Amino acid sequence: MNKRLLEIMARKAELRKELDDASQERLAAIQEETTALIAEEAEIRSRMDLAGKLGNPEPKPAEGNAHSPDPAEERAQKLVDTGRMVISSTEARSVLLSTGSLAKPTEVGGINEPQNILSSIVDMVTVEDLNGVGSYKEAYMTAWQTAGAGTDGTAPDPNDPGFRTVAINPFQVDTMTYVSKNLRKQTPLAYEEKVRKGAMIALKKKVVNYIIKGNGSTQPFGIYNAVNTEEVPEGLTQELLLTSSTLDATTLRKIVFAYGGDENIGGGARLFLNKDDLIAFGDIRGTNEKKAVYEIIPDGANPNTGIIKDGGLSVPYVICSDVAKLSGISKGVSKTKTMIYGDPGAYKLGLFGDYEVAVSEDYKFGEGLLTVKGEVMVGGNVVVDKGFVVVTLAAQ
C-alpha cells in the first residue's frame, strides 16, 4: 500500500481519538484537517485505481510493504472475474467528499444559546443535602430572654427564649423532552449536550419559582408563603405595606431600613425584584435638577445582578421574573406581594437527591426518538425569623 496513504489513515485514527474531549475550537480544526486528508486520500486512491485499470504490469511496491496487494488492483481483477466490485463506505465517503462542493461538509461554529432565563437566587440560598431523609424540620429562634430588676429574697419571673420549627418536605420536579436519535451523530454540533443542559436549566428555573412563591402544600414553601409548624402557623417574613404602586425617591430606603432588628438594618441582604421595577427605579428623577435619584450599576460578570446606589446607600440587587412587579400595578381586592429584600441565606433549599438528567432510547425506540428526562426532589422554607421583608401593596 502507498506509504502516504498509510500515514493518512494513521493520522485520521489519531484525530478520531481526539473527538470526545475536543473543545469547539479544536473540533473546527479537526474538521478542517480531516477534509484535507480525505481529499488527499481520494486523489491517491484515484491514481492507484487508474494505474490498475491501465494494467501496469510491474507496479512499484510501497517501501516497507513490498508484498502487500494493491486494493485497487484486487477490485479491478475481481470485476473482470466476477462482474462485481465492492467499495467500502470509507472509500465511498472519500470519493463523494472529493467530487465537488455539493458533498463538502458544512463547517459550523457551534450552537448559540438564548438569553439567560435563570435568576441567580438559586445559587445564593442555603443548600443542604437531605438525601435519604423523608422529611425535615429545622428549629429557629424568635426572641432572646429578657432581664429585669432583681429583689433579694424574691425569685425572678421566668423568661424563656422563643423557639419554633419549620418544615422542609420533599417534592418532585420533572422535565421531559423528545429529540431525534440522529442528534447523537451531529458533531461538532453537540445537540445532545445542549438538550441535557436545557433540562438542567428547566429544573433550576422551576426551583427558582418555588423559592419565591411555592405554596407549601403541593410545592415547597416559597418566601411569599413561608410559615412555621405551629398549630396556628405564623409567617416567617416581615411585611412592608405600601399604599401606592408608584416608586419614588424614598422607596429604596424604606425597604432597606425595614429589614433587621431594633439595633441594626440587617447584613448580607439583597433586593430581589422584577426587571420592570429596576427600570422604574432608574426612571425616578429629582424635583429640582431632574437628575436620576438612583444609580444602577449592573455586574459585568453576571448581568442578572448589580448594585443600586442611593447617595451613600448601596443595595445589591438580583433580577427575578418570578417576583411580582410593583411599579404601575393597580390595587386588588387583596394585598399584592412584590419585591423581596433580605439575606438569601435565610432560605434553605433541601436537596433530597441530586439533580439528574438521563437520556434513554427505550420508550420511543420505534419512532427513532431519544427521551431526555430531568428530575430532582427538593424542599424549602425560610429558616430565620423575619428573614425577608416582602414589599406589599395594600388592598383597595
| Per-residue pLDDT tens digits for 22-36 | 777 787 788 888 888
pLDDT score recorded for residue 253? 96
- Average confidence (pLDDT) over 152-177: 85
**Own/partner long-range contacts of 159-165 (Cβ < 8 Å, ≥24 apart):** 163/139, 164/139, 164/140, 164/228, 164/229, 164/230, 164/234, 164/385, 165/137, 165/138, 165/139, 165/140, 165/228, 165/229
Instruction: For residues 167 and 75, state if they share a domain.
Output: no
Which sign, positive or negative, has the C-alpha torsion 72, 78, 84, 86?
negative
Q: Are residues 55 and 140 in the same domain?
A: no
Does the pLDDT at position 87 exceed 50? no
Q: What would the pLDDT profile of 287-313 be if each residue is shown by its tens digit?
A: 888 899 999 999 999 999 999 999 889
If asked whether residues 32 and 160 sit together in one domain, one would say no
- Give the residue, 260 or 2, on which the prediction is more confident: 260
| Residues 73 and 117 reside in one and the same domain | no
Residues 82, 231, single domain; the answer is no
Same domain flag for 323 and 246: yes
Give the largest CA-CA distance in the chain.
127
**Helices (H), ranges, 54-190:** 71-82, 89-97
Please tell me the least confidently modeled range out of 181-195, 218-232, 318-332.
181-195
Report the pLDDT averaged over residues 77-87. 50
Residue 70 has pLDDT above 80, yes or no: no
Q: Cα–Cα distance between 258 and 256 in angstroms, integer?
A: 5
Same domain for 374 and 264: yes
pLDDT grade for 184, boundaries at 50, 70 and 90: low
Please report, rounded to a whole number, the percentage of residues in the chain having pLDDT higher than 70: 81
pLDDT at 60 over 60: no
Q: Are residues 145 and 88 in the same domain?
A: no
Predicted pLDDT of residue 336: 97
Q: Which of the listed residues 103, 126, 146 is the one where a domain comes to its end?
A: 103
- pLDDT band, very low/low/confident/very high, at 357 (cuts 50, 70, 90): confident
Give the CA distances from residue 80 to residues 60, 190, 229, in Å, rounded to whole numbers and listed in that order. 22, 46, 89
Query: Do 272 and 378 sit in the same domain of this protein?
Result: yes
Whether the CB-CB separation of 195 and 35 falls below 8 Å is answered with no
pLDDT at residue 1, rounded to an integer: 60
Among 44-58, 218-232, 267-281, the minimum mean pLDDT is found in 44-58
Predicted pLDDT of residue 189:
53
| Torsion from C-alpha of 351, 354, 359, 363, nearest 10 degrees | -50
Pick from 83, 103, 123: which residue ends a domain? 103
pLDDT top residue among 94 and 56: 56
Decide the pairing of beta strands 238-242 and 388-393.
parallel
Q: Are residues 188 and 89 in the same domain?
A: no
Residues 192 and 246 in one domain: yes
Q: Which has more confidence, 57 or 325?
A: 325
The per-residue pLDDT for 106 is: 46
User: Which of the residue ranges 107-116, 173-182, 386-395 has the most confident prediction, judged by mean pLDDT?
Assistant: 386-395
Which pLDDT does position 28 carry in this prediction?
77
For residue 263, the tally of other CB atoms under 10 A from its CB is 5
Q: What is the mean pLDDT of residues 277-285?
A: 96
Tell me what pLDDT residue 345 has.
Answer: 95
Work out the percent of the chain whose per-residue pLDDT is above 90: 45
User: What value does the mean pLDDT of the chain take?
Assistant: 82
Which pLDDT score is estimated for 103? 39
Side-chain-side CA neighbours of residue 392 (13 Å): 19
Q: Containing domain of residue 10, as a range?
A: 3-103
9-18, 102-111, 337-346: least confident range? 102-111
Q: Which three cell numbers stand for residue 385?
A: 425569623
What beta strand segments (E) does 86-227 contain?
126-129, 136-143, 162-168, 171-180
134 with 240, same domain? yes
> Can you give the CATH number for the domain in which 127 is found?
3.30.2400.10
The residues, any chain, with a CB within 8 Å of residue 229's CB and separated by 6 or more, are 137, 164, 165, 166, 167
| 3-class DSSP state of 381 | strand
Please count the structural domains in the chain.
2
Q: What is residue 280's three-state secondary structure? A: helix
Cell of 61: 511496491
Mean pLDDT of 159-184: 85
CB 325 within 8 Å of CB 391: no
Q: Of residues 251 and 356, which shows the higher confidence score?
A: 251
Q: What is the per-residue pLDDT for 186? A: 58
Q: What is the mean pLDDT of residues 124-131?
A: 93
Residue 380 has pLDDT above 60, yes or no: yes
Question: For the whole prediction, is pTM greater than 0.85?
Answer: no
Position 271 scores a pLDDT of 98
Query: Is pLDDT at 264 greater than 90 in this prediction?
Result: no
More confident residue, 178 or 52: 178
Of 53, 77, 103, the last residue of a domain is: 103
